[in-house]
Every structure is written in C-alpha cells, then in structure tokens.
Amino acid sequence: MIALALDIITTAAILFAVAAGLLIILGVLKIVNFAHGGFLTIGGYSALVVTQLGWSPWLAYPVAALAGMVMGAVVERFVIRPLYDRPLDAILATWGLGIIIGQLITIIFGREIQFVQTPIAGATSVIGETYSLYRLFLIVAAAAVAAGIAALLNATRLGLEARAVIMNEPLARGLGINSGHVRFVTFCFGAGLASLAGALITPLSSVDPNMGVPWLVNAFMLVLVSSVSLTSLAAAALALGGAQVLVSSFVSPVIGGLTIVVLAALLLRIRPAGFGRG
C-alpha cells in the first residue's frame, strides 16, 4: 500500500519534471515542441558522457541543462523563429528536429542501450517499506524544478514579461516588451529543462537514441490537459500518473502504458479546459 502510494507520487514527480519544459514553451511560444523528446535524449546522453568521463554523477544535471540550452538556442534561431505564425507547421518541423537529433546521437554513440551511473544508490525504509532512494530524490528534484520555474516567473523581470506574453502577446509588444527576446530565452530555458529531465530519468532506465519518444507523447498529453498552468500540470501528473500506476499494477503494464494518452484524450473531449479553470 505504502509502496503503491510512493510509486504514484514518484511517477507524478517524474512526469511533472519531464512535461514542465514543454508546458513553458507552449505557454509563451504557443507552439508544441515535438523536439522535446530529442532534448530529453540529449540530457540522457549528457549523463552518459559524464559517466564515461568518470566525473561525479551529480555533474550530469548542470551539464545536461547546459547542453539543452545551447541546442535550444541554435534551434530557436534557425527553425522556430520562422514558424511563429504557423503553429501546425512548427509541430512538424520540431518532429523533424527530433529525428535529426536521434540520428546524430545514433551516429555518435551507436544505437545500443547504455547505462549511466546513478548519484544516489540503494534504498531506504519509509514507514516500514523499503523504497529506492533515487526515486525519492526525484520528488525533491521535481519540487526544485517547480520552485525554480515559479521563482523565475514571479520574481524576475523576464518572468513578468513572459507572463505578459502568455496572457496577451500583441498588448505586451505594444507595451514595449521585446517578445522575440522573451521567446528566445523561454525556448532555451524549456529545452534546458527538458534535457535536465532527461538526465534525471536515465538512472531509472537506460539510454538509447529513441528514449525520448514514449515520454514525449505522455508529456504532450499532460500539457494539453493542464492549460498552461504549473499547478494544473502538477494535478494532471498526479491524477493521470496515478491512474497509470494503478492500471499497470492491477490490470496490465501494457494497458498501463496507454492510460495517460487515452484518459487525456477523453478528458479533453468532455472538458476542453482539462485540469485548468476554464
């Protein structure tokens, strides 16, 4: 029972961390970034490089975030910027980018599954239940990500500008906000977050060039049902992630893998605002 509750909470934490970058980019740039899976993969392989170089596994996180931000900067400048007015085309172009990233990684690292070193090994006892320490650490990490985003949005000038762009872009531009700059920084930040999430999830599984795709679809669904709000995203991750854990444990892992997609699609049909207040 306790293990199940912990599974639900840690799964929700992982889903939240993975989807946060996508949510921010959708909120400010109004485009769905299908290269999100590619950025997750970059994060995973950053962790792999850190492992191969023999550095401390803790360094994987800053390295991954940095790698994601640099890639994000390049991608924003050359691919995203020309597609601001064509959101459906942006989906396709970023999907193409995901393919490019996957193939580049395959060429450099090979297509086989590889493993990275985990910074926290072992298990601990939580109210009499032995549980993986790393999964518990992920709750802290997700909370830190959420706090970081909230602080950036609410306590910095850029965050204020980003919120203005989210609410009403033409008006924000009219007030002298350089929305192009806000978009650029947001995209880099979102890409960095995605890579960080990629590095966070790798110790749980393994890295391979297509590791991002299954995460992409779930993250995408969660973001759509949370109508650009971090609190709604947390609620959606907990509700749908919880449903996934329950279905996987009691019905079948295969159907469990579909839970988020199916529930989110049905939820959007019944209530288009999803978990948001709308």
Partner 1 sequence: MSGRLALAGSIAGLCVVAAIAGPYVLDSYTVNILVRSFLYAATALTVDILWGYAGILTFGQAAFFGIGAYAAGITFTYLDFSPQNAVLALLAGLAVSAAVAAVTGWISFFHGASPLYVAIVTLAMPIIFVQILYSGGTFTGSSSGLVGYNTFDLSVESWFTICGVGLVVLTTVAWFFVNSDFGRMLVAIRENEQRCTYLGINAPRIKILLMVVMAMIASVAGYAYAGYTVVVAPEIGSFVFGTELVMWVALGGRGTLIGPVLGTIVIDVTTAYLSGNLPFVWKLIIGSIFVLVIVALPQGIIPVVRTALGRMWSAATGRSAMASSFTVPAIVDARAGRRAGAGSDAPALDVADLTRSYGSLKVLEGVTFKALGSELLGIIGPNGAGKTTLMRCLSDGYERTGGTVAAFGQTIARVPPHGVVGFGIGRSFQTTSLFETLTVAECLTLARYRLDGAGMMSRMPELALPDSARHVIAATGLDREMEIECRHLSHGMKRALELAMVLALEPSVLLLDEPTAGLTKPERTLIGNILVELVQREGLCTLIIEHDLDFVRDISTRIIVLHQGKVLLDGSVAEVVGSELVRTIYAGGEHKGAAR
Is-contact 183 173, C-beta < 8 A?
no
Interface pick for partner 1 out of 3, 82, 112, 121 (rule CB under 8 A)? 82
Site stretch for partner 1 (CB under 8 A), options 81-89, 146-154, 162-170, 240-248: 81-89
- How many other CB atoms are found less than 10 A from the CB of residue 171? 11
Q: Cα 39 to the chain's mean position, in Å? A: 9
Per CB under 8 A, 271 contacts partner 1: no
**How far are the Cα atoms of 51, 65, 80, 142, 197 from residue 57, in angstroms, in the given order?**
6, 14, 32, 18, 14
Q: By rule CB under 8 A, what count of residues binds partner 1?
A: 39
Please, what is the minimum distance in Å from the beta carbon of residue 97 to partner 1? Answer: 6
Q: How is the chain split among helix, strand and coil, in percent rounded to 5?
A: 75, 5, 20
> Closest approach of Cβ 99 to partner 1, in Å?
4
Q: Are 187 and 26 in contact (CB under 8 A)?
A: no
The CB-of-169 to partner 1 minimum distance in angstroms stands at 18
Q: Which of 97, 116, 194, 240 binds partner 1 (CB under 8 A)?
A: 97
Q: Does 170 bind partner 1 (CB under 8 A)?
A: no
- 73 lines the binding site for partner 1 (CB under 8 A): no
Q: How many CB atoms lie within 10 A of CB 129?
A: 14
Q: Is 87 in the site for partner 1 (CB under 8 A)?
A: yes
Told to check if 139 binds partner 1 by CB under 8 A, we report no
Assess 106 for contact with partner 1 (CB under 8 A): yes
Residues in a beta bridge with 124: 131
Which residue from 79, 133, 143, 246 is in contact with partner 1, where contact means CB under 8 A? 79
Q: Which two tokens stand for residue 253?
A: 């892992």
CB of 250 to partner 1, least distance (A): 15
Is the Cα dihedral 218, 16, 213, 111 positive or negative?
Answer: negative
Name which of residues 193 to 252 contact partner 1 (CB under 8 A).
Answer: 213, 217, 220-221, 224, 252
